[in-house]
């Protein structure tokens, strides 16, 4: 029963269907892991949500920043960004069912030595810590008071984890790490502004997976989120955002043997500057 991890879709439903055809995907036998950012900026977020929801147990998804953005907007929080393509989802007759399904997805997923999150893991967190932190935030997102969290979700502070954090500040650090992290300091302070490839960042910042002594290094972290990083397929890291939205590729890695599969994607957005 092969398992394929698939990079950021961001509403590129047609590219997903081409990739599944390329994989000869069999929902009765195969499994798919999606690294988050199922929706937004691409042409058919509604089609993506319906497709993956209908896969049932054949698909595992973690939430990305664009997925949380959709959920917050649906509750009246946050602001619409230039380039958002979420109106079709928000106006769909089955929007409530789809949004409930999306809100019920995980922030982290672990299977043996494989650990999937959308963006990153703070360098001080072990795999066990990671799953515990994810479970804290998932309980709120899936619980009766999720709207209160969405009302206060946006923000860049606190910038670092502290075991003494409580309430919305604790949750914001957890969610920001899992869904927005690219660079941080050696001490684990997060930086949210620079999106370029490693080597282009300002002095003092490191890719989160390059911090010396990172405590999740014994696991293989499976991530998306970072299109300028591109495909990475090494023992401790599988990075899968290969810029489908920007006219790049939609990429899958078969986790059992690390074989790479990809399809070329039409450009849905202009490349980022």
Q: What is the pLDDT of residue 1?
A: 87
Distance between CA atoms of 58 and 62, rounded to whole angstroms? 14
CA angle 265, 222, 204 (to 5 degrees): 100
Q: What is the pLDDT of residue 268?
A: 74
Distance between CA atoms of 255 and 259, rounded to whole angstroms? 8
Phi/psi for 60 (5° steps) reads -120, 135
The 3 state secondary structure assigned to the chain is CCEEEECCCCCCHHHHHHHHHHHCCCCCCCEEEECCCCCCCCCCHHHHHHHHHHCHHHEEEECCHHHHHHHHHHCCCCCCCCCCCCHHHHCCCCHHHHHHHHHCCECCEEECCEEECCCCCCCCCCHHHHHHHHHHHHHHHCCCCHHHHHHHCCCCCCCCCCCCCCHHHHHHHHHHHHHHCCEECCCCCEECCCCCCCCCCCCCCEEHHHCCCCCCCCCEEEECCCCCCCCEEECCEEECCCCCCECCEEEEEECCCCEEEEEECCECCCCCC
Q: What is the pLDDT of residue 176?
A: 98
Residue 8, CA distances (Å) to 151, 169, 232, 240, 252 in order: 26, 27, 14, 7, 10
The answer to whether residues 40 and 73 touch, using CB atoms and an 8 Å cutoff, is no
Residue 102, CA distances (Å) to 73, 105, 221, 249 in order: 13, 5, 22, 24
Q: Which two tokens stand for residue 236?
A: 């401790």
Q: Residue 230: left if φ>0, alpha if ψ -120 to 50, beta else—which one?
A: left
Q: What is the pLDDT of residues 153-191, one digit of tens each?
A: 999 999 999 999 999 999 999 999 999 999 999 999 999
Look at residue 92 and tell me whether its pLDDT is greater than 80: yes
Look at residue 80 and tell me whether its pLDDT is greater than 60: yes
In order of their start, the domains of the chain are 3-264 (3.60.21.10)
Q: State how far Cα 203 lies from the chain centre.
A: 26
Q: What is the pLDDT of residue 267?
A: 84
pLDDT (mean) for 251-261: 98
Q: What is the pLDDT of residues 31-75, one digit of tens each?
A: 999 999 999 999 999 999 999 999 999 999 999 999 999 999 999
Q: Which two tokens stand for residue 188?
A: 């684990």
Mean pLDDT of the chain: 97
pLDDT band at 126; cut points 50, 70, 90 = very high
Q: What is the pLDDT of residue 273?
A: 40
Look at residue 145 and tell me whether its pLDDT is greater than 60: yes
Question: Considering the entire predicted model, what is its pTM?
Answer: 0.97
pLDDT (mean) for 114-129: 98
Q: What is the pLDDT of residue 51?
A: 98
The answer to whether residues 6 and 33 touch, using CB atoms and an 8 Å cutoff, is yes
Q: What is the pLDDT of residues 198-235, one digit of tens each?
A: 999 999 999 999 999 999 999 999 999 999 999 999 99
Residue 72, CA distances (Å) to 11, 148, 215, 231 in order: 17, 10, 32, 30
């Amino acid at each position: 029963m092969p398992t394929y991890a698939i990079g950021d879709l961001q509403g590129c439903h047609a590219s997903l269907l081409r990739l599944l055809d390329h994989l000869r995907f069999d929902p009765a036998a195969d499994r798919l892991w999606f690294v988050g950012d199922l929706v937004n900026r691409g042409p058919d977020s509604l089609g993506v949500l319906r497709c993956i929801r209908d896969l049932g147990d054949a698909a595992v998804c973690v939430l990305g920043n664009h997925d949380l953005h959709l959920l917050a907007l649906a509750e009246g929080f946050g602001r619409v960004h230039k380039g958002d393509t979420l109106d079709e989802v928000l106006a769909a007759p089955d929007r409530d069912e789809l949004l409930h399904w999306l809100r019920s997805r995980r922030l982290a997923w672990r299977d043996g030595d494989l650990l999937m999150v959308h963006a990153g893991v703070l360098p001080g967190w072990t795999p066990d810590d990671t799953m515990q932190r994810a479970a804290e935030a998932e309980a709120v997102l899936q619980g009766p008071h999720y709207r209160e969290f969405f009302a206060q979700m946006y923000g860049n502070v606190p910038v670092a984890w502290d075991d003494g954090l409580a309430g919305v500040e604790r949750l914001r650090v957890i969610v920001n790490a899992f869904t927005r992290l690219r660079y941080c300091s050696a001490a684990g302070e997060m930086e949210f502004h620079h999106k370029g490839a490693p080597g282009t960042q300002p002095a003092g910042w490191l890719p989160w997976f390059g911090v010396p002594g990172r405590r999740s290094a014994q696991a293989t972290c499976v991530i998306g989120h970072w299109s300028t990083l591109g495909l990475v397929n090494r023992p401790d890291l599988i990075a899968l955002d290969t810029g489908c939205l920007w006219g790049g590729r939609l990429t899958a890695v078969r986790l059992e043997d690390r074989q790479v599969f990809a399809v070329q994607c039409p450009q849905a957005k202009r490349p980022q500057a």
